[in-house]
Amino acid sequence: MSSRARVLILNAALGPLDYRVPAGMEVGPGSIVVAPLGPRQLLGVVWEAERMPSDAEVGDNRLRNLLAVADVPPLGAPLRRLVEWTADYYLAPAASVLRMTLASTSALEGARTAVEYRSTGVVPPRLTPQREQALERIGDRQGLIRELATIAEVSDAVIRGLVKVGAIEAVEVSIDNPYPLPDPQHHEPTLSEDQRAAADVLVAGVAEHAFHPTLLDGVTGSGKTEVYFEAVAQAIRDRRQTLVLLPEIALTEPFLKRFHDRFGCEPIAWHSGLRSTQRRRAWRAIASGEALVTVGARSALFLPYRDLGLIVVDEAHETSFKQEEGVHYHARDVAVMRGKFEGCPVILASATPAIETRQQVVTGRYAELKLPGRFGAAEMPTIEPIDLIKEPPERGRWLAPRLVKAMQETLERREQSLLFLNRRGYAPLTLCRTCGHRFQCPNCTAWMVEHRLTRRLACHHCGHAEPTPRVCPECKGEDTLVACGPGVERIADEVTALFPEAKTAVVTSDTIWSPAKAAEFVGRMEAGDIDIVVGTQLVTKGYHFPNLTLVGVVDADLGLDGGDLRAAERTFQQIRQVSGRAGRGEKPGHVFIQTHSPGAQVMQALITGDADAFYAAETDARKDAGAPPFGRYAAIVVSSEDQSCAHETAKLVGRSAPEVDGMHVYGPAPAPLAMLRGRHRYRLLVHARRALDVQDVIRDWLGKLEWPSKARVTVDVDPYNF
Ligand code: ADP
Ligand code: ZN
């Protein structure tokens, strides 16, 4: 007996390739194998395997032999279907999707143990500055030599040197340690009537083990987590796996704590900060089915769960579920597809669901469960607008007197305040007051943002940063630079000037960049070690601080600028979420919204709390425009370092657009970020009727074209911005 296998190779923009399976090697669909490709050996997954009665029937003698099979469970059929579906729907190479599944090749290395390194506390006899830096930065962290070198920003050789002199030692870690088993009865809550009713439906859905998408639509503080935990408990009782997707790594820490309170141990957290041994261990436990509950950001979606019983997408409206690089996909939508292929329920939890999700409820494709009120004694906060034209802040300040007074009173009551402004850094624009020079990023169509905490000007798109100059590069004027407009750092300065005694914290991705940092922030908030938080959208999510009673929205008009069809929806979601942080405990919450247009529909909806009217109006606007979910968009972005190459290629793509009934192509026009990371970008926006298979049209259209290798063409199906 001999056989042939069709293998989807990783790291190659190729379709599946055929290989011979050598005698004695056992492979089947889903097996992870090592295959030769040219001079290289690459990982791949068997997509189809055929047994042949005799060697002759394998046919082509030039078929090369597979080299090895990885000692891990094969990828199941539902996951393979998901890979195919994602590749098809988002017009991405299947191998790129598969790469997300295998997560890191190191996950597959056979060993059951790995060697990591950590500091011993021994001070080396010869303490060079580099060694000192390394030991200081490593602290009590543990990892591979390469990982420690990266943390310490020194070469591997420095770390090895430290191992030699005994300052760092090797420790053997097992990657087959069993994970603790969550206990569904560890601490069962007493649910309110509304919560019980919703939980019962969800629990029954898990027990039934069938595909069933549900929108869990509950106001902020209604106890959505508590409710879907009951569904998780059922999956645990059934010994099936649960995946909980969270929008942001910063949210995992509070989640882990709540999970621990409820189930007596932590779930597996999957995020980019895992050391490679941790990653390997988690991947294997997920693949073997031993890891019963996994929580992670969108990358956790493609992992090889052996037997999924439930998928939860928490804060399902969050834009960070939309991946904008590599494979452009929307994790919320792919999660629903995964549930479909796995045959398990999917819960989308949100206090401010996307219009697309609401529409799925309207058409009956998703069920809906509502939690109309906050849990326990907590009431919804009062919301008041502050008209910045009638009640302007003092000159050179950004906080209106009424908000300042409320902050003062909150401080006096020893309660906490939160000021929300969705802008990192000190000021969004810096210019020279003498010559008007503005600092633009050399790689992007974007202003450099001043960060005073680090004394740098930084581009928020490509990460380019330089020290803030004292001298204007244009007119050589000294100390002539002025900051225009506020960022969170500037607001924090204003707060410190107003309330020098108060303890103020800035919360942005600059200050909270790891779960550990998030945990530290939560700890300080809970200990009352912070009086006033100034933060970006990072603080609008998930957090629950009972002593936080005042929320001030510094500039509610900010998100309305772009004027795209999503602007109002996004503003509504953000402000309602951040308002939802106020008064979650027994003390009542108050929200002040600073705006220049208190009469705007979105502001009125926020103030009156009439979400239904707002959604109805927005939905009508989408319907009129034929925008999603009533029509579809796909963006084709052409980019190149060479501007004319990008433009010419974009024009070529535009000229070759097929005439299709129900489809219209706009552009090419400069993309919303016309230059990004040194590449010039042009965008074509394809608008299509809902029923049209627009992917098929685009595949055909681009498939026939040839363009210079300097140009890159990417397609974003269902783009967030349209
Ligand atoms: P949401 O996610 O809807 O904003 P949470 O799940 O964070 O709400 O719940 C808000 C707070 O109320 C949390 O501190 C949670 O522990 C608490 N809570 C909700 N329901 C219950 C319950 N049935 N028993 C005890 N505490 C609850
Ligand atoms: Zn840039």
Q: Distance between CA atoms of 703 and 653, rounded to whole angstroms? A: 11
ipTM of the complex: 0.97
Residue 229 CA to ligand 1 centre (angstroms): 11
Element (H, E) at 40: strand 40-52
User: Which ligand is closest to the CA of 375, given by its number?
Assistant: 1
- Is 690:630 a contact under the CB 8 Å cutoff? yes
Integer angstrom CA distances of residue 58 from 2, 4, 20, 66: 7, 6, 8, 14
pLDDT digits (tens, 9 = 90+) for 201-234: 999 999 999 999 999 999 988 999 999 999 999 9
Residues with CB under 5 A from ligand 2 (ion): 441, 443-444, 459, 461-462, 464
pLDDT digits (tens, 9 = 90+) for 293-346: 999 999 899 999 999 999 999 999 999 999 988 899 999 999 999 999 999 999
The one-character DSSP state at 440 is B
Strand, coil or helix: 437: coil
Q: Residue 104 pLDDT > 80, yes or no?
A: no
Largest CA distance in the chain: 88
- Prior bond of 129 cis (ω within 30°): no
Q: What mean pLDDT value characterizes the chain?
A: 90
**How do strand 308-314 and strand 241-245 relate by DSSP bridges?**
parallel
Which residue's alpha carbon is nearest to atom 10 within ligand 1? 221
User: Which ligand is closest to the CA of 448, given by its number?
Assistant: 2
**Mean pLDDT within 118-128:** 86
The 3-class secondary structure across 659-689, one letter per residue, is: CCCCEEEEEEEEEEEEEECCEEEEEEEEEEE
Q: Residue 535 pLDDT > 80, yes or no?
A: yes
Nearest atom (ligand 1) to Cα of 190: 23
Read off the pLDDT band of 564 (50, 70, 90).
Answer: confident
Strand arrangement, sheet containing 168-174: 142-143, 113-119, 168-174
Element (H, E) at 145: helix 145-152
Q: Residue 1 pLDDT > 70, yes or no?
A: no
Q: Distance between CA atoms of 662 and 639, rounded to whole angstroms? A: 27
Q: What percent of the chain has pLDDT over 70?
A: 96
User: Which ligand is closest to the CA of 369, given by its number?
Assistant: 1
The confidence score (pLDDT) of residue 674 equals: 92
- Prior bond of 73 cis (ω within 30°): no
**Mean pLDDT within 422-450:** 91
Residue 547 CA to ligand 1 centre (angstroms): 15
Q: Is 110 exposed, middle or buried (0-12, 13-18, 19+ CB in 10 A)?
A: exposed
User: Which ligand is closest to the CA of 458, given by its number?
Assistant: 2
Pocket test for ligand 1, best of 256, 313, 374, 375 (most atoms within 8 A of CB): 375
The one-character DSSP state at 471 is B
Can you spell out the DSSP letters for 53-85?
Answer: SSGGGG--TTPPBP-EE-SSPPPPHHHHHHHHH
List residues near ligand 1 (CB under 6 A): 189-192, 195, 218, 220-226, 375, 544
The confidence score (pLDDT) of residue 72 equals: 86
- Length of the chain equals 722
Which residue's alpha carbon is nearest to atom 18 within ligand 1? 223
Read off the pLDDT band of 108 (50, 70, 90).
Answer: low
* pTM of the predicted model as reported, rounded to 2 decimal places: 0.90
**How do strand 481-484 and strand 429-432 relate by DSSP bridges?**
antiparallel
Q: Which of 45-54, 367-376, 385-394, 495-504 has the lowest mean pLDDT?
A: 45-54
The one-character DSSP state at 123 is P
The confidence score (pLDDT) of residue 389 equals: 94
Pocket test for ligand 1, best of 258, 540, 544, 545 (most atoms within 8 A of CB): 544
The confidence score (pLDDT) of residue 13 equals: 72
The confidence score (pLDDT) of residue 379 equals: 85
Q: Residue 563 pLDDT > 60, yes or no?
A: yes
Read off the pLDDT band of 178 (50, 70, 90).
Answer: confident
Cα-based torsion angle of the residue sequence 648, 643, 566, 575 in order, rounded to the nearest 10 degrees: 170
Side-chain-side CA neighbours of residue 249 (13 Å) = 14
Read off the pLDDT band of 193 (50, 70, 90).
Answer: very high
The confidence score (pLDDT) of residue 349 equals: 97
What the block records as the tokens of 266 is: 């932590």
* Beta strands in 153-270, from DSSP E residues, in sequence order: 168-174, 212-218, 241-245, 268-270
Strand, coil or helix: 272: coil
